[in-house]
Amino acid sequence: MWFLKEKKRIFPLFKGGTAEYNRRERPVGNRAFQKGEAAMKSLTPKYPHMLHGGDYNPDQWLDRPDILEEDIRLMKEAHINCVSVGIFAWAKLEPQEGVYDFDWLEEIITRLYENGIYTVLATPSGAKPVWMSEQHPEIRRVQANLVRDETGGRHNHCYTSPYYREKVKAMDTALAQRFASHPGVILWHLSNEYGGECYCPQCQAAFRRWLQEKYGTLDNLNHQWWTTFWSHTYTDWEQIHAPVPHGETSVHGLTLDWKRFVTHQVIDFMKVERDAVKAADPSIPVTTNFMYDFYQYNYFKFKDQLDVISWDSYPQWRNEGNVETAADFALWHDVMRSIKGQPFLLMESTPSTTNWTPVSKLKKPGMHMASSLQAVAHGSNSVQYFQFRKSRGSTEKFHGAVVDHYGGSDTRVFRDVAAVGQRLEAIDAVTQSDVKAEVALVFDMENRWAIEGAAGPRNCGIHYAEQVRAHYRALWRMGIPVDIVDEECDISGYKLVIAPMLYLLRAGFEERLKAFVENGGILIGTYHTGLVNENDLCYLGGWPGAGLGEVFGLWHEDTDALWDDEHNTLRLADGREYGLKEICALIHPRGAQVLGTYGEDFYQGEAALTVNQYGKGRAYYIASFGEDALYRDLYQKLAGKLSLKRALEDLPPQGVEACLRENGEVQYLFLQNFSGRQQQVSLPQGYASLEGEPVQEASLAPYDGQVFCREKR
C-alpha cells in the first residue's frame, strides 16, 4: 500500500480508502461486450481499461485545496478514471536548482488513486523553468534566422544541450524513483508534443557528426548531394551548415538530411527521458503525445522507443461540411494506430472548443460523442481532453475544458463529457480488440519532404498529402479498414497496397513492392513515382526507376503540369470520363494494358490508366490526379474483386462513418453520423446493441455515435 508522507498536506482531511469507484462491476448488457482476447497485451497493465480523462494541472491550484477537493468529486461525476499530471509543472517540482519538491504531487496522485482515478505521469521537459532558462541561455533554442530565443513560451529547448539533457535526466530519474511504484501511476507521458528545430552551434556540430557517420567521406557526401552544381562542393566538414532561408537552400540532399537529422536528434533526446523513467521500473509503459499532420518529424521513426502511441486531435468542426473533416481525422487516427500496428491513445482533444484557431467554435450537440467514438473506432483505447479545469489566467484561459470557470457540473459540456465516459465504460471490452486491415496506404514522411522540397514540376502546390487523402476518402466512404504504412513497413500481408506519388524510393522498398506483386498482391501506383533514390538523386535509365517500370509495365517519359484552372480528362473504353488536374504523366505501355486514355491536349488518346500483370499480381498506374469519382469507382470494383473486408455490406449513407474493431471472437461495429441529419443504417446480420438487443437497423441522430457487436461465426 502506498502511504502518504505527513508533511505539506494540501487537502485538509485525507480520507483513505480503496479505489472502489473503478473497481466496481461494470454494467452487464450484451455478453459479447464482456469478451476479450486474453492474449491481447494491455497497454497499461495496472489498469487495463478504456481510459477517460485528460490533462490535469493541479499545480495551478495548490493554494486552493477546496478546488482540488472539488476536482475529484467532479471527475467521478464525469466518469473520469485517468488524468495526465505534471506536464508543465517543472517550476513547482524544482523551484530552485537542485531543490526538488514532490510532496504536493505525491499527495495529489495518492488522493486521485484512492478515489479510483489513475495517473498518467508526465516528465516536465516541455517547458523549462524561468530560473533555468535565465541561468543557462544555451538551453534556449536558436531559430532558423540564427537568433537565440529569449526566455518565454514552451517547447523551445535545444535538444542537444548537454546541460539540459542532464537536468532532464536528473528530474525524470527522481520522478521515476519516487513514483514508478505508486499503484496509481500507469503510464509515462514523455514531455509534451516534441516539436521544432534548433540551429544552435551544438546542434549543427551534432549534424556534422551524424553526416560523417552516414557518408564516411566528404567525396561521398559531395556526390550524393550533387554539390558540383553551382560550385557548392564542400572541402571541409566544418563548411557544412544547416539549411536556413538566408543560407543554403538549393542542395536538396542537404535539406532532406537535415530533416532526417532533426528527427534523429529529437529521438535521441527522448531516449534520455525514456531510459531515465524505465530505469526505475521497465514495466511501466511510455508514450509521448504526437500531433495532427505534423510535418517536422518522421513519427514512424519513434515507434521502437515508445510502448504506446498517443496523439492530440483537434478537428475544426463547422456548421456545414464536417464529413471531409471527419475523413481527414479518420486518416490521422489510422496513422497513429499503424505506427506500431496496435491500439493507440487519444491523449488530448477538446471537450468543447479550442482558443488557438481563428474562430473558437463550440461542438454541436452530439459532436462530442461522434468525434470521441471515432477515435475509439479507429483503434484508440482512450478519450482524453485538454484540460480538466480551465486555467484562470495566462494564454489558455479561454480554451475549452471539462470544468469551466463557472465551476459546476450543470453545463452542456460537462454532461457531454459524462455521457462519453458512461458510453466508454459500457464498451470497455473493446480495448481487447484492434482494427485489422487488408489494405495498406503508403504515406511516407521522407517522400513528402523530398516531393515538397524539390523545385518543380508544380511549385504552386504539388499536393502529396491531398493525393493520399483522395485515395483514403474513397475507402473510408465504403467502410473499408485501412492501415497507413511508410516505406520501412512490412507490406507482405495485405491484399491491396496503394502507393500514391512514390517519388522517393527508399532503399529496399522497391524490392518489397516487387515481391508483394509477384506473390499476388494488387498495387496501385500513380504519376510522380520512382523519380529519385533515397538521397534525392534522379534515377537514370527511365522512370519509374529501381525496376518499378517492369512492375507497372510502362515507361514514364515526361511530365506535364497544369495550372489551377486547367484540366484534362480520363476516358475509359466504356465511355465513362473523369476530370484530371495538376499533373499528367506521359507514359508508354511496355506490356501494360491500357484501361483509359487522356481526353485532351497534345497527348490526347495516350495512356492515362493502365494495369500490368506481374508475377501472380497486378499493378495499376493512374497517370494523373483524378476527381473523387475515379477513386470511388476504382476501389468499389477492387473491393468486390478482392472481397475486401467492409464494416457494412452496402455503402453507409453519405456522411456516416462505419468502422470495425475485432478480435478472435467478437466484431464491434462503430457508426458515427457526421452528416448533420438523422440517418437510418441497415446492419449486417447478427449485430446487437449494448443492451444485448438484436438490431437490424440503426437510427442515428445528427452527430450521434453508436457501437454494436456480434460474435464471430
Contacts to ligand GLA by CB under 6 A: 192-193, 312, 314, 348, 354, 386, 396, 399
Residue 107 binds which entry of ligand GLA, Zn ion, none, CB below 5-8 Å type-dependent: none
Count residues contacting Zn ion (CB under 5 A)? 5
Nearer to Zn ion, 198 or 658 (CB): 198
Q: How far is CA 349 from CA 146, 313, 346, 401, 405, in A?
A: 34, 5, 7, 10, 19
Alpha-carbon span 443 to 498, nearest angstrom? 9
C-beta nearest to ligand GLA: residue: 312
Query: How is the beta sheet containing 82-85 ordered, strand by strand?
Result: 286-287, 185-189, 118-122, 82-85, 51-56, 382-385
Residue 294 binds which entry of Zn ion, ligand GLA, none, CB below 5-8 Å type-dependent: none
Q: Smallest gap, in angstroms, from Cβ of residue 300 to ligand GLA?
A: 20
Q: Is 678 helix (H, G, I), strand (E, B) or coil?
A: coil
Residue 198 binds which entry of ligand GLA, Zn ion, none, CB below 5-8 Å type-dependent: Zn ion
C-alpha distance across the termini of the chain, in Å:
45
Using alpha carbons only, what angle is made at residue 87 by residues 82 and 90, rounded to the nearest 5 degrees? Answer: 140
Q: Cα 370 to the chain's mean position, in Å?
A: 19
Q: Smallest gap, in angstroms, from Cβ of residue 269 to Zn ion?
A: 10
Binding segment (CB under 5 A) for Zn ion, from list 70-78, 194-202, 388-396, 661-669? 194-202
Q: Smallest gap, in angstroms, from Cβ of residue 618 to ligand GLA?
A: 43
Q: Smallest gap, in angstroms, from Cβ of residue 315 to ligand GLA?
A: 12
Q: Smallest gap, in angstroms, from Cβ of residue 686 to ligand GLA?
A: 40
Count Cβ atoms within 10 A of the Cβ of residue 357 and give its class: 0-12 exposed, 13-18 middle, 19 or more buried. exposed
Q: Smallest gap, in angstroms, from Cβ of residue 278 to ligand GLA?
A: 23
Nearer to ligand GLA, 309 or 523 (CB): 309
Q: Smallest gap, in angstroms, from Cβ of residue 386 to ligand GLA?
A: 4
Q: How far is CA 209 from CA 215, 272, 536, in A?
A: 10, 19, 21
| Per CB under 5 A, 200 contacts Zn ion | yes
All 3 cell numbers of residue 622? 493512374
Binding segment (CB under 5 A) for Zn ion, from list 197-205, 314-322, 356-364, 545-553? 197-205
Q: Smallest gap, in angstroms, from Cβ of residue 64 to ligand GLA?
A: 21
Binding segment (CB under 5 A) for Zn ion, from list 56-64, 186-194, 198-206, 365-373? 198-206
Nearer to ligand GLA, 127 or 505 (CB): 127
Nearer to Zn ion, 196 or 547 (CB): 196
Cβ contact 53:80 at 8 Å: yes
Selected from 160, 432, 610, 624, the binder of Zn ion by CB under 5 A is 160
Alpha-carbon span 313 to 293, nearest angstrom? 10
- Looking at the annotation, which residues are catalytic? 193, 348
Alpha-carbon span 525 to 505, nearest angstrom? 13
Nearer to Zn ion, 145 or 217 (CB): 145
All 3 cell numbers of residue 310? 498517443
Residue 581 binds which entry of Zn ion, ligand GLA, none, CB below 5-8 Å type-dependent: none
Residue 666 binds which entry of ligand GLA, Zn ion, none, CB below 5-8 Å type-dependent: none
All 3 cell numbers of residue 601? 491536349
Residue 193 binds which entry of Zn ion, ligand GLA, none, CB below 5-8 Å type-dependent: ligand GLA
Nearer to ligand GLA, 290 or 631 (CB): 290
Binding segment (CB under 5 A) for Zn ion, from list 160-168, 228-236, 265-273, 442-450? 160-168
Q: Smallest gap, in angstroms, from Cβ of residue 667 to Zn ion?
A: 49
Residue 354 binds which entry of ligand GLA, Zn ion, none, CB below 5-8 Å type-dependent: ligand GLA
Alpha-carbon span 510 to 619, nearest angstrom? 13
Q: Smallest gap, in angstroms, from Cβ of residue 280 to ligand GLA?
A: 25
All 3 cell numbers of residue 583? 499533373
Nearer to Zn ion, 198 or 485 (CB): 198
Alpha-carbon span 633 to 635, nearest angstrom? 6
Listed in sequence order, the residues at least 6 apart from 246 whose beta carbon sits closer than 8 Å to its beta carbon are: 145
Residue 706 binds which entry of ligand GLA, Zn ion, none, CB below 5-8 Å type-dependent: none
| Per CB under 5 A, 203 contacts Zn ion | yes
Q: Cα 381 to the chain's mean position, in Å?
A: 14
H or E element, residue 523: strand 522-526
Residue in 96, 94, 201, 214 with CA at minimum distance from that of residue 158: 201
| Per CB under 5 A, 242 contacts Zn ion | no
Binding segment (CB under 5 A) for Zn ion, from list 150-158, 447-455, 493-501, 585-593? 150-158
Alpha-carbon span 277 to 67, nearest angstrom? 30
Residue 37 binds which entry of Zn ion, ligand GLA, none, CB below 5-8 Å type-dependent: none
Listed in sequence order, the residues at least 6 apart from 387 whose beta carbon sits closer than 8 Å to its beta carbon are: 54, 55, 56, 57, 396, 399, 401, 402
Ranges within 558-577 binding Zn ion (CB under 5 A): none
Q: Strand locations in 173-244, DSSP E?
A: 185-189
Listed in sequence order, the residues at least 6 apart from 417 whose beta carbon sits closer than 8 Å to its beta carbon are: 78, 79, 80, 351, 368, 385, 402
Q: Which residues, listed in sequence order, are joined to residue 621 by a DSSP beta bridge? A: 525, 610
If you count them, how many residues does the chain have? 713
Nearer to ligand GLA, 347 or 683 (CB): 347
Listed in sequence order, the residues at least 6 apart from 650 whose beta carbon sits closer than 8 Å to its beta carbon are: 682
Residue 59 binds which entry of Zn ion, ligand GLA, none, CB below 5-8 Å type-dependent: none
Nearer to ligand GLA, 100 or 314 (CB): 314
Selected from 132, 198, 496, 671, the binder of Zn ion by CB under 5 A is 198
Nearer to ligand GLA, 119 or 529 (CB): 119
Q: Can you give the binding site for Zn ion, defined by CB under 5 A?
A: 158, 160, 198, 200, 203
